[in-house]
Amino acid sequence: MGKKVIVIGSGFAGLAAATTLADQGYEVRILEKNEVPGGRARQFEAEGFTFDMGPSWYWMPDVFDTYFQRFGKQVSDYYDLVRLDPSYQIYFGPEDIMEVPAQLNDLKALFERYEPGSGKHLDKFLEEAAYKYRVGMQEFVQKPGHSILEFADMRVLKSVFRLQMFQSMSSHVRSLFRHEQLRQMLEFPVLFLGATPENTPAMYSLMNYADLVLGTWYPMGGMHKIVEGMVALAREKGVQLRTGEAVQRIDVVNGVARKVITDRDQYTADIVVGAADYHHVEQQLLDPEWRQYTESYWDKRTMAPSSLLYYVGVNKRLRGLHHHNLFFDEDFSRHAVEIYDQPQWPSKPLFYVCAPSVTDPSVAPEGHENLFILIPTAPDLQDTDSEREKYYDIVMDRLEKLTGQDVRGSVVYKRSYAHRDFKADYHAYKGNAYGLANTLRQTAFLKPKLRSKKVKNLFYAGQLTTPGPGVPPSLISGQVVAAEIAKNHKLNKPLTSAV
């Protein structure tokens, strides 16, 4: 049997790293503190409803296709995928709704209706976004981010200017489009990357390519179906998965991680992958002399948003909702500032409603509606029951006003989830929901390193390291770290000689 690898955490990054290494002959065990695998992509059932707890957008389908194909599998072996049309809708007011179509010709027609002549600008915008997506996926996200030298290739250096690394997303969008609602539609994906559009590199218009060209999809049965497929594949490759077992310590001797100690057992290890929250693994599981970063370093990082979530079951079908619904009837810029520049509870929040029961009848009792409601918030806020109830009332007031119907009186199940839950369930630093922000100073080799400089056989994966936040980047992160392990800790290479 090959070298023993312990992976801490069973989110997308942990499952991807474990499966990739097991496929190459390593003996891999995943240790997961929660009873259900999947990290933030867990699922729960209540009162006949099935709720995805975290991710709800299925973008970048090519990333999932490539992952399963590397093992000779297809996405369709594990779940049924459907493309949503319209991809989503945006409420700007009671009678002011933008439905974003799946087909490009229809999208171009939509732009022309809002701003005559903007269709040709959309073509230019998406052409540039396609280039950024192609280069980003082929040249950048697959790099481990050890140093700037990885990007010294002339081909990559030339691409930096076309990637618009030093222009803001806001200025890029506003140079092409005048209509404020079109601008907000194009800027909304970066709201979850960790900075305002004014402080986010225009490179991240690649997200618009993923959104508007590659499309918005949904795995029938919920996003947790992806996790179920990844777990099934991991087990097929021989990965052992232990749930309900919290790691308490990584025992390091002479710069080598030798044991992983949990609340139930202890395991010898040749290699350890911290695929749980990076800050927690480093600051809580390692003795001080083996930590790369200080608490001050972490405190100075810019975090992506946290979220205030509501899982709501309604005993009737609702009018005016598609699968994905964005409510931008309040000031978009003001909410972004209150997340990033002046962190506070939002005064007039934007919010998002996912109604998967519109697409998938299996997630709610017949004649009922399943709602997942999300308010992006700043991380590290004081999270109280009174704040949760306050914002529930705000959201329900506006949802009822904008869709013209009673909702609150038909609610038969409600559960809230916010900062303190992210901390308790995932050890999420400052209660973040999305990891480390993708600002220019926290991109590529400027992120926390995926390989420890102090513990030679300790690696990290997930949304606090390369390549960044989100489901597809986390999936890629696990594969990148597996490649680094295979390169530095070959199966027939003694651990003591590892670099």
CA triple 80-82-86, angle to 5 deg = 165
Average pLDDT over residues 224-235: 98
Residue 4 pLDDT greater than 90, yes or no: yes
Q: What is the pLDDT of residue 192?
A: 67
Q: What is the 3-state secondary structure (H, E, C) of 91-137?
A: EEECCEEEEECCCHHHHHHHHHHHCCCHHHHHHHHHHHHHHHHHHHH
- Token pair in block for residue 350: 């934007």
Q: What is the pLDDT of residue 497?
A: 35
Domain ranges across the chain = 4-43+60-78+222-301+437-497, 105-211
Residue 217 pLDDT greater than 70, yes or no: yes
* pLDDT level of residue 496 (50, 70, 90 thresholds): very low
Q: Are strands 256-262 and 217-219 parallel, antiparallel or unpaired?
A: unpaired
Judged on CB neighbours under 10 Å (0-12, 13-18, 19+), 344 is exposed
Average pLDDT over residues 209-231: 97
Residue 442 pLDDT greater than 90, yes or no: no
Helix, strand, coil percentages, rounded to 5, for the chain:
45, 20, 35
Q: Across-strand partners of 267?
A: 260
Average pLDDT over residues 172-196: 88
Closest CA to 16 of 60, 62, 80, 66: 66
Residue 341 pLDDT greater than 90, yes or no: no
For the segment 400-414, what is each residue's pLDDT rounded down to a tens digit? 999 999 999 999 999
From CA 173, how far away is CA 179, in angstroms rounded? 10
395 in Cβ contact with 268 (< 8 Å): no
316 in Cβ contact with 370 (< 8 Å): no
Q: What is the pLDDT of residue 243?
A: 98
Q: What is the pLDDT of residue 189?
A: 87
* pLDDT level of residue 274 (50, 70, 90 thresholds): very high
Q: Across-strand partners of 461?
A: none
- CA distances 222 to 77, 348, 469, Å, are 16, 30, 20
pLDDT higher at 144 or 26: 26
Residue 160 pLDDT greater than 60, yes or no: no
Judged on CB neighbours under 10 Å (0-12, 13-18, 19+), 73 is middle
For the segment 15-67, what is each residue's pLDDT rounded down to a tens digit? 999 999 999 999 999 999 999 999 999 999 999 999 999 999 999 999 999 99
From CA 333, how far away is CA 105, in angstroms rounded? 29
Domain 4-43+60-78+222-301+437-497 listed as CATH 3.30.56.10:
no
Q: What is the pLDDT of residue 437?
A: 82
Closest CA to 311 of 33, 42, 84: 42
36 in Cβ contact with 243 (< 8 Å): yes
Mean pLDDT check: name the lowest of 105-119, 145-159, 288-302.
145-159
For residue 404, count other CB atoms closer than 10 A to its CB: 10
Q: In what order do the strands lie in the sheet with 458-460?
A: 240-242, 27-31, 4-8, 271-274, 458-460
Sign of CA dihedral 280, 286, 287, 292: negative
* pLDDT level of residue 154 (50, 70, 90 thresholds): very low
Residue 116 pLDDT greater than 90, yes or no: yes
Question: Three-state SS for 140?
Answer: helix
Q: What is the pLDDT of residue 469?
A: 85
* pLDDT level of residue 332 (50, 70, 90 thresholds): confident
From CA 111, how far away is CA 109, in angstroms rounded? 5
- CA distances 264 to 86, 159, 243, 248, 272, Å, are 48, 50, 11, 10, 18
Peptide bond between residue 467 and the one before it cis (omega within 30 degrees of 0): yes
Average pLDDT over residues 386-390: 97
Q: What is the pLDDT of residue 441?
A: 77
Mean pLDDT check: name the lowest of 19-28, 159-168, 431-440.
159-168
Residue 444, C-beta contacts closer than 8 angstroms, at least 6 positions apart: 140, 143, 145, 150, 151, 466, 467
* pLDDT level of residue 197 (50, 70, 90 thresholds): confident
Mean pLDDT, rounded, of the chain: 92
Where is mean pLDDT largest: 188-197, 249-258, 482-491? Answer: 249-258
- Give the CA dihedral 214, 319, 307, 125, nearest 10 degrees: 30
* pLDDT level of residue 140 (50, 70, 90 thresholds): confident
Where is mean pLDDT largest: 185-199, 311-325, 468-482? Answer: 311-325
- Token pair in block for residue 437: 């922000």
For residue 372, count other CB atoms closer than 10 A to its CB: 21
